């Protein structure tokens, strides 16, 4: 089989994490002409090598970028020569990954390619791009349920997935035009046959009905991506589209969802294909009482706090420590603890302000 260096044989599936990309990957990977593996994250290092910020290395990534840019200026096509070299290298790797499968297309599902959509299009101008969108409040609730699990301060690790991914995905859709296949998770699980058939038509492959029953096909277990919900079922589950609403019974989840909706704003929600009014109505139906809400953490604190700036690290730890004690022991006992710590301060802020194990 001839493998094109410009990407005719490549399919890129991009989304926010926890948006249902593993489900769509399993379905498409069940097609007799499409081969896929666990999330490769293959192209991120070479693209980020051109960026001074956004990554770290022991050898000083920022200086390495400047030195490489200096070298590239000596080449006939400058950065274009680097892009051509990267294109050839990864085309070769994708071809090797496809060679043993006897299939025609290689599907690379790496959600965080949302960081590099413009560079992907430059590398593989004839590639196929699928951008999967999901109700952003459902994405948030899935992140909270799967990765945070009550340790609320861990949400800072998903800062970019929540705050920048939607706009980057929308920009990728706008700049790609007809080359981009836009899929909504809710339609995928509620009308899988018609939605997958439309995807196949745009990819130029024949729709095979058994793709929908992805769990019946022979597929290896993957290390990355959803390893619980998707593997538990054999086909899309329509009820999963509204499953996130149950999480709103937790006042902390409700506050984060409300804050997130306000941050994204009506225009972004509409561009993503959802109704801000409907989401507001759902939130209103689950609004907690004020006494259940007053000790919850705001989204801004959790996303911009202790995991993202050294400057405010100690302050954030103190806030989380104080709120946790208030929630667990009440005002009187918390005042006693603070008074005791002020009278006998321990050496080192980390020890004196350690967060109780039951935080959240």
Concatenating the DSSP letter of every residue in 255-285 gives HHHHHHHHHHHHHHHHHTT--HHHHHHHHHH
Say if 260 falls within a structural domain.
no
Cβ atoms of residues 113 and 14 within 8 Å: yes
Residues 178 and 316 in one domain: no
Residues 203 and 337 in one domain: no
Question: Residue range 324-329: average pLDDT?
Answer: 72
Query: What is the pLDDT at residue 351?
Result: 40
CA dist., res. 122 & res. 87, Å (int): 9
CA 210, 213, 216, 218 torsion-angle sign: positive
Last residue in a domain, options 239, 260, 280: 239
Residues 188 and 313 in one domain: no
Say if 297 falls within a structural domain.
no
Say if 113 falls within a structural domain.
yes
Question: Residue 349: is its pLDDT beyond 50?
Answer: no
And the tokens for 262? 């306000």
Residues 314 and 231 in one domain: no
Strand partners, 15: 132
CA dist., res. 211 & res. 214, Å (int): 5
Say if 348 falls within a structural domain.
yes
Question: Residue 312: is its pLDDT beyond 70?
Answer: no
Residues 314 and 232 in one domain: no
Last residue in a domain, options 208, 239, 270: 239
CATH number, position 94: 3.40.50.300
Residues 18 and 120 in one domain: yes
Confidence band for 70, pLDDT divided at 50, 70 and 90: very high
For 99-115, letters b (16+ CB in 10 Å) and e give eeeebbbbbbbbbbbbb
Query: Dihedral of the CA atoms 248, 254, 256, 257 (nearest 10)?
Result: 70
Task: Give the mean pLDDT of the chain.
Answer: 87
User: 214 burial class (0-12, 13-18, 19+ CB within 10 angstroms)?
Assistant: buried
In the 8-state DSSP scheme, what is residue 246?
Answer: G
Instruction: Say which residue, 203 or 321, is predicted with more confidence.
Output: 203
Question: Residue range 123-133: average pLDDT?
Answer: 96
Question: Residue 360: is its pLDDT beyond 50?
Answer: no
Give the domain range for residue 322.
309-352
Question: Residue range 34-39: average pLDDT?
Answer: 93
Residues 181 and 64 in one domain: yes
Residues 196 and 328 in one domain: no
Query: What is the pLDDT at residue 144?
Result: 96
Query: What is the pLDDT at residue 338?
Result: 78
Say if 122 falls within a structural domain.
yes
> 0.75 cut: is pTM over it?
yes
Say if 360 falls within a structural domain.
no
Specify the range with the lowest mean pLDDT, choosing from 64-73, 92-101, 306-315.
306-315
Question: Residue 113: is its pLDDT beyond 60?
Answer: yes
And the tokens for 209? 């009905």
Number of structural domains found in the chain: 2
**Cα angle, residue 171 at apex, residues 198 and 27 outer, rounded to 5°:** 30
Confidence band for 17, pLDDT divided at 50, 70 and 90: very high
Residues 170 and 26 in one domain: yes
Name, in order, each residue with C-beta under 8 angstroms of 181's C-beta and a sequence gap of 6 or more: 128, 129, 130, 131, 199, 202, 203
Strand partners, 122: none
């Amino acid at each position: 089989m001839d493998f094109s260096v410009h990407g005719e044989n490549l399919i890129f599936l991009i989304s926010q994490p926890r948006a249902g990309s593993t489900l769509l990957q399993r379905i498409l990977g069940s097609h007799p002409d499409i081969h896929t593996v666990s999330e490769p994250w293959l192209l991120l290092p070479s693209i980020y090598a051109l960026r001074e910020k956004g990554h770290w290395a022991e050898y000083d990534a920022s200086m390495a970028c400047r030195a490489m840019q200096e070298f590239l200026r000596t080449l006939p096509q400058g950065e274009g020569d680097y892009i051509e070299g990267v294109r050839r290298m990864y085309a070769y790797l994708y071809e090797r990954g496809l060679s043993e499968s006897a299939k025609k297309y290689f599907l690379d599902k790496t959600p965080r390619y949302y960081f590099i959509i413009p560079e992907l299009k430059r590398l593989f101008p004839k590639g196929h791009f699928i951008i999967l969108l999901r109700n952003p409040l459902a994405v948030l609730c899935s992140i909270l349920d799967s990765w945070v699990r009550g340790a609320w301060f861990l949400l800072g690790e998903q800062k970019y997935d929540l705050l920048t991914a939607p706009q980057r995905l929308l920009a990728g859709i706008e700049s790609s035009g007809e080359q981009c296949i836009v899929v909504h998770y809710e339609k995928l699980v509620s009308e899988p046959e018609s939605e997958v058939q439309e995807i196949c038509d745009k990819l130029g492959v024949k729709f095979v009905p058994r793709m929908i029953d992805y769990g019946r096909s022979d597929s290896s277990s993957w290390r990355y991506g959803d390893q619980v919900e998707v593997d538990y079922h054999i086909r899309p589950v329509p009820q999963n589209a509204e499953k996130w609403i149950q999480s709103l019974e937790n006042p902390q989840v409700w506050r984060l969802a409300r804050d997130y909706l306000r941050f994204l704003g009506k225009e972004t929600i509409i561009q993503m294909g959802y109704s801000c009014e409907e989401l507001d109505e759902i939130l209103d139906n689950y609004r907690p009482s004020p006494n259940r809400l007053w000790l919850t953490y705001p989204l801004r604190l959790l996303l911009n706090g202790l995991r993202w700036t050294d400057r405010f690290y100690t302050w954030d730890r103190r806030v989380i420590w104080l709120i946790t004690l208030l929630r667990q022991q009440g005002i009187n006992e918390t005042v006693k603890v603070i008074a005791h710590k002020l009278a006998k301060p321990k050496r080192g802020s980390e020890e004196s302000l350690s967060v109780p194990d039951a935080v959240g």
